[in-house]
Each structure stands twice: as structure tokens, then as C-alpha cells.
Amino acid sequence: MGMTITEKILAAHAGVKQVEPGQLITAKVDIAMGNDVTAPLAIEVFRKAGATRVFDADRVTLVLSHFVPTKDILAADMCTTIRRFAREQGLTYFYEEGKGGIEHVLLPEEGVVVPGDVVIGADSHTCTYGALNMFSTGVGSTDLAAVMLTGECWLRVPETMKFIYTGKPGKWIVGKDLILRTIGDIGVDGALYRAMEFTGEAVAHLSMSDRFTMTNMVQEAGGKNGVMEADDKTRHYAEARCKRPPRYVSADPDAKYCDVREYDISTLEPLVAFPHLPSNIKPLSAVGKVEIDKVFIGSCTNGKLEDMRVAAQIMKGKKVHPYVRVIVIPATQGVYREALKEGLIEIFIEAGATVSAATCGPCLGGHMGVLGKGERCVSTSNRNFVGRMGHPESETFLVNPAVAAASAVLGRIAHPDEVQ
């Protein structure tokens, strides 16, 4: 019997010819990742296990991303723990604040994760990397500690759902809209512990940036991982960056899927996920007049250079609504640098937005713009659960970058065509 992309990658890393859904395996790990929130506990468990060295200093990467620049003493101490461990272990890929950014954009950008890899990260959105034709998933800090020690991880092989997108995306339709459409269909637990394999002519039209957005949000459907087959865009992206040879993997023609769903997106309009679930979607035309207090453009979902370009295109020559505040956070220092070169940062500042250094910041209600009681925020991030971005009585509406920028100008949830 044939295998899906996920099954093939896991079989190769388990050292067997065939795996099937439900099977327990021990897989070799290519990259293990932790951040400033999850790595300190992993380091503590690592030491309690009596370990002295990580399995491979080239294969364990630590990224300071969530609370940097550090917001308080606790965050500072957590980062200090990681810095000392990285130096002690001689980690090749340790990313200090000012030198990295959000790991889920950074590691593909830096070529640390490679097609065909198994990547285990102590962060739920580690699933992002699957757009680059690999298996990547999030785990807890104790699991990360075990991987740092052994270079292996036990896994249950997930069933695979296949999502086929037909039609050509419209003017303002991007990966964010495709994945919101999908989550709106299957629900926030519709892919629980399943692989989500994305394909079809509409996906082929998408840039790598938009593909990463789609795999980033499989977690919001309960998915174990998201994955895409490699095409010319994948190869061009990977081979310009990758620090190791890529190993492209395709599904077999007779691969078995537990569910196959097809969406014609040719008539899809921009979508808005209303509080308090990413599945609570409405087409922009059905939103009505929803006044807002804040706009956040950034996060691992939509803080990439392409997202910055789209938002700047909408906001150029305009001003942020007088009753709205806007924060723009490039996902990595690399994105920030290129946005500076292209004049995008100047456009945001001239419009009246705040621009921050690369960090997760308000996405998780951490810092750099936490919401107060009763406030409404339009956000390009991935989650809008109760209290996700601040006060439990605040509200977050998930949108694509063009809608976010238009909303910033008009002070309400707005269509980009209204300000173009």
C-alpha cells in the first residue's frame, strides 16, 4: 500500500520501509527547537536526567522570540538560562535578540530546516515548516529535553487528511483566507492528531510566504502537522537557503487518506474570524460595521516580508484612523532589514503606526501592545481565543494583512478596495 508524504518521511526517519496510521515509532530528529518560554524547562529536565551534552550541537536550535526585548525580570532570567546553556553546549544555531526573530519564520529563512526533515519544536506552531515539504510538529518541554539528549522522538503516526484547492485566488485572497476557510469548515478540532496535506492548483498559485501561513495554522484545527508537496517554488526557496541537502518527498499515487476535501476558491472573498474561535468565520461582505481600537500586523502567521509589502501598499500616503492604534512587527530581523531597504517601515511610521523589533509580542498577550478590557483588535495572527491578546473581555478578529491595513485606515473592519 502507498504512503502519504507524512508517512514516507516518518518511515525514513524510523528506519523502516512502511508505516501506517496509529503505529508507534521512534524517529530520528533532524532539528530540535526551543524558545525563551519552553527551553528553560527543557534545560532543567535535561540536567535532572543527568545529561551533560546535547546529541548534536548542529541539530539543537534555541531562539529568543516571545518576550524579547525582555519585558520583565522573569523573562530576563529565562533568557539568561538559555544563553548560558547555548554557550556551554556550543550550539551552532542559537539566535539572540537582535539577531533572529520568531522561530517559525526564522528557521526556514535561515535554511536551518530542510525539505525531508523531521523537526520537533517546543512550540505549537512548529507545524509551520511543513510548507517546505517536511514533517514538523510541536511538543512539550519535557519531550524537547528527551530529544536534546537522544536525538530521537517517539510518535504515533497520524492519519492524513487531504485538502484540494481549485480555482485561481482573487485579488486580495491569500493563504490566510484559504486556511480560515478550511478551519471554518472542519472546526478547531476537525483535524485532531491528523496530518493536513494541502494541494491543488490554487496552492500552486500561492507564494511560499502564503504556504507557510497555511501550515502555520493547522494547529488551530487540532492538526498534528501540515505538509505540502514540493514544486518549483519550493525548490527555488530551499536551494537558495538550505544548509543541508534537501530530500524531497511525494505521496504515492495509491496513498490512503482518512478524509479528502475540495474547495473551489475562485469566488472566495477575504474572511474574518470573529471572537473567540478561528473557525468562527464570516466573509468580509457580511461583517457589517465593526469599529475597532487596535490593529496588529505581524506574528509568525503574517509577519513576513510579503505581508509587510501588502500592508504598506494599502497604507501608503494614508493615515491611521485617529481612534485606532497600529503596531507593526516584522517577524525577523531579516524581514525588518529588507522592509527598511524597501521603504516600508517609513510608510508605516508616516501613517502613524508603531514599528517594533522582531518579537512575538502581542500575539500571545505577552508585551508590545496587550489589549485592555473591552478593546477590539484586528490581527494578522493565528488565534483569537478568550484572553489570547490580553484582557479576557477584549476581542480579536483574525484577518489577512490587506484587510488589517485597510481597517487601520478606516477605524473599522474594512475591505482593501475601500481605501485603494
The tens digit of pLDDT for each residue in 358-389 reads 999 888 888 888 999 999 999 999 999 988 98
On whether residue 83 sits in a domain, the answer given is yes
Q: Which of 245, 263, 281 is the last residue of a domain?
A: 263
Q: Which residue has the higher pLDDT, 407 or 366?
A: 407
> What pLDDT shows up at residue 367?
86
User: Is the whole-model pTM more than 0.85?
Assistant: yes
Q: Are strands 24-28 and 31-35 parallel, antiparallel or unpaired?
A: unpaired
Distance CA 170, CA 184 (A): 19
Mark whether 248 and 278 lie in a shared domain. no
> What pLDDT shows up at residue 130?
97
Q: Which residues are within 8 A (CB) of 88 and not within 5 positions of it... i.e. 6 or more apart? A: none
Mark whether 226 and 277 lie in a shared domain. no
pLDDT (average), residues 174-196: 97
Tell me the pLDDT band of 232, cut-offs 50, 70 and 90.
Answer: very high
- pLDDT, tens only, 202-213: 999 999 999 999
Mark whether 236 and 283 lie in a shared domain. no
Q: Which of 241, 263, 285 is the last residue of a domain?
A: 263
Mark whether 228 and 86 lie in a shared domain. yes
- pLDDT, tens only, 27-77: 999 999 999 999 999 999 999 999 999 999 999 999 999 999 998 999 999
Mark whether 370 and 246 lie in a shared domain. no
pLDDT (average), residues 114-143: 97
Mark whether 41 and 137 lie in a shared domain. yes
Mark whether 226 and 300 lie in a shared domain. no
pLDDT (average), residues 264-270: 95
Residue 194: domain span: 5-263
Percent of the chain with pLDDT over 90: 95
On whether residue 79 sits in a domain, the answer given is yes
Q: How many domains does the chain have?
A: 2
Mark whether 249 and 287 lie in a shared domain. no
Q: Which of 263, 291, 318 is the last residue of a domain?
A: 263
| CA neighbours closer than 13 Å in the CB half-sphere of residue 374 | 0
On whether residue 390 sits in a domain, the answer given is yes
Kindly tell me if the per-residue pLDDT of 154 is higher than 90. yes
Mark whether 318 and 207 lie in a shared domain. no
Percent of the chain with pLDDT over 70: 100
Kindly tell me if the per-residue pLDDT of 253 is higher than 90. yes
- DSSP 8-class letter at 183: H
* Three-state DSSP class for residue 13: helix
> What pLDDT shows up at residue 42?
97
Kindly tell me if the per-residue pLDDT of 342 is higher than 90. yes
Distance CA 197, CA 332 (A): 27
Mark whether 254 and 311 lie in a shared domain. no
Mark whether 186 and 288 lie in a shared domain. no
Kindly tell me if the per-residue pLDDT of 133 is higher than 90. yes
Mark whether 12 and 92 lie in a shared domain. yes
> What pLDDT shows up at residue 420?
83
> What pLDDT shows up at residue 118?
98
On whether residue 219 sits in a domain, the answer given is yes
CB count in 10 Å sphere of residue 50: 7
* Three-state DSSP class for residue 337: helix
Name the average pLDDT for the chain: 96
CATH at residue 313 = 3.30.499.10
On whether residue 268 sits in a domain, the answer given is no
